[in-house]
């Protein structure tokens, strides 16, 4: 085989768009196995064994050789019912992260103005970079809440095609009151994505109440947190039905497989299970927050989600994280965010997991 005239690997790689080449892969950066895994804001509770047994029957009846529908209509309908919106307002994805990429595809051309408040779930900034947005970042207030005044000013000044508000926010756990959401919706000429991944843990009214009044609102949700389905990959958006129709044009078909759809439907069919799990996780987060607040050596951010952000005063956050990891306890280091240097994030686990974390923390502190 004469390959003398073939381009070198580097020449071929140089054909990859700079937006991609300049990126880093998204890595959680932790071993997959740990005794106490509190680093990804997951539910500590898997589905009950009886429900899983029912789903095994579903698995048997699922035709693996047949494509699923382009969109999982029955699941979209169940999600619409759950949220009191029309099925035409729902678009289901392979996890909500996957839909975030759809926003890049649909709204961002090179130089498109995008405004993002910080600190925010890092994927949004990555999508803005990948699509060469003209990105403006709004630094938080001293108490780490989003600076809504500055955000309102920036979306107007930059004629923002897109802004995003994560509420409750990851990684702070802080939430934006509905009146402030409305200020941003009124001021933004483009779309406002409100990512409500942790909405079930928060007692503010959901953004669905604003859908009728604001055609520029897109709400993003996930079944990875309160519903405990992070391993299956189900997320969805809700928006004006005409917006959904347009987004469908850019959408990859078949993104939700038959089994995930069946599991999503089964879980939505057990509303008491969701209520019970959310109560357990809220209790866990409240007691974890209180326990951390009782430690003099820590500053703790009060959370409206299922995780807590904190910073140690006398120990370095890196050393603390490493010491916990040696004991099989995974938490997340937030030092990569300019406004969160020295901060760590711990997810609320089972009572036993929280105790293991707090005991190990005390041993280090």
Ligand X SMILES: Cc1ncc(COP(=O)(O)O)c(C=O)c1O
Contact in structure between 125 and 163 (CB atoms under 8 Å): no
Alpha-carbon gap, residue 120 to 127, rounded angstroms: 13
- State in angstroms the smallest separation of the CB of 124 from ligand X: 9
Alpha-carbon gap, residue 294 to 131, rounded angstroms: 45
Q: Which helix (H) or strand (E) holds 114?
A: strand 113-117
Applying CB under 6 A, which residues contact ligand X? 41, 95-97, 121, 166, 170, 195, 197, 222, 224, 230, 235
Cα dist from 250 to 63, 200, 243, 358, whole Å: 27, 29, 11, 47
- State in angstroms the smallest separation of the CB of 206 from ligand X: 15
- State in angstroms the smallest separation of the CB of 66 from ligand X: 25
Contact in structure between 195 and 164 (CB atoms under 8 Å): yes
Nearer to ligand X, 93 or 360 (CB): 93
- State in angstroms the smallest separation of the CB of 197 from ligand X: 4
Nearer to ligand X, 224 or 289 (CB): 224
Nearer to ligand X, 189 or 302 (CB): 302
> For residue 282, what are its two tokens?
């809220």
Nearer to ligand X, 303 or 360 (CB): 303
Nearer to ligand X, 41 or 71 (CB): 41
Contact in structure between 167 and 181 (CB atoms under 8 Å): yes
- State in angstroms the smallest separation of the CB of 122 from ligand X: 9
C-alpha atoms less than 13 angstroms from C-alpha of 261 in its C-beta half-sphere: 22
- Peptide bond between residue 171 and the one before it cis (omega within 30 degrees of 0): yes
Nearer to ligand X, 174 or 360 (CB): 174
Radius of gyration of the chain (CA): 21
- State in angstroms the smallest separation of the CB of 314 from ligand X: 29
- State in angstroms the smallest separation of the CB of 86 from ligand X: 22
Nearer to ligand X, 281 or 360 (CB): 281
Strands 217-222 and 307-312: unpaired
Contact in structure between 220 and 99 (CB atoms under 8 Å): yes
């Amino acid at each position: 085989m004469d390959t003398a005239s073939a381009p070198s690997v580097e020449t071929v790689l140089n054909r990859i768009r700079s937006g991609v080449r300049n990126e880093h892969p998204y890595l959680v950066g932790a071993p997959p196995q740990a005794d106490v895994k509190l680093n990804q804001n997951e539910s500590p509770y898997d589905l009950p064994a009886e429900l899983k047994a029912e789903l095994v029957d579903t698995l048997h009846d699922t035709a693996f050789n047949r494509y699923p529908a382009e969109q999982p209509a029955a699941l979209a309908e169940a999600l619409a019912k759950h949220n009191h919106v029309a099925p035409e307002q729902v678009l289901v994805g392979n996890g909500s992260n996957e839909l975030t990429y759809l926003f890049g595809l649909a709204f961002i051309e090179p130089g498109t103005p995008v405004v993002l408040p910080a600190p925010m779930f890092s994927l949004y900034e990555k999508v803005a970079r990948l699509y060469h947005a003209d990105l403006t970042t709004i630094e938080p207030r001293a108490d780490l809440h989003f600076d809504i005044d500055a955000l309102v000013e920036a979306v107007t000044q930059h004629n923002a095609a897109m802004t995003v508000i994560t509420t409750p926010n990851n990684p702070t756990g802080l939430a934006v009151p509905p009146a402030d959401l409305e200020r941003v919706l009124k001021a933004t000429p483009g779309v406002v994505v409100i990512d409500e991944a942790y909405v079930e843990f928060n007692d503010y009214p959901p953004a669905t109440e604003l859908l009728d009044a604001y055609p520029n609102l897109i709400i993003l949700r996930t079944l990875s947190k309160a519903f405990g389905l992070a391993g299956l990959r189900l997320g969805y958006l809700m928006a004006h039905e005409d917006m959904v129709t347009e987004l469908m044009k850019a959408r990859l078909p078949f993104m939700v497989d038959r089994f995930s759809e069946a599991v999503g439907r089964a879980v939505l069919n057990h509303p008491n299970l969701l209520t019970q799990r959310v109560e357990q996780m809220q209790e866990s987060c409240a007691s974890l927050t209180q326990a951390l607040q009782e430690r003099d050596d820590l500053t703790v951010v009060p959370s409206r989600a299922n995780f807590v952000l904190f910073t140690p005063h006398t120990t370095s956050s890196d050393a603390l994280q490493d010491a916990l990891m040696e004991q099989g306890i995974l938490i997340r280091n937030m030092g990569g965010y300019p406004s969160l240097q020295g901060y760590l994030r711990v997810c609320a686990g089972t009572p036993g997991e929280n105790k293991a974390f707090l005991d190990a923390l005390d041993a280090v502190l």
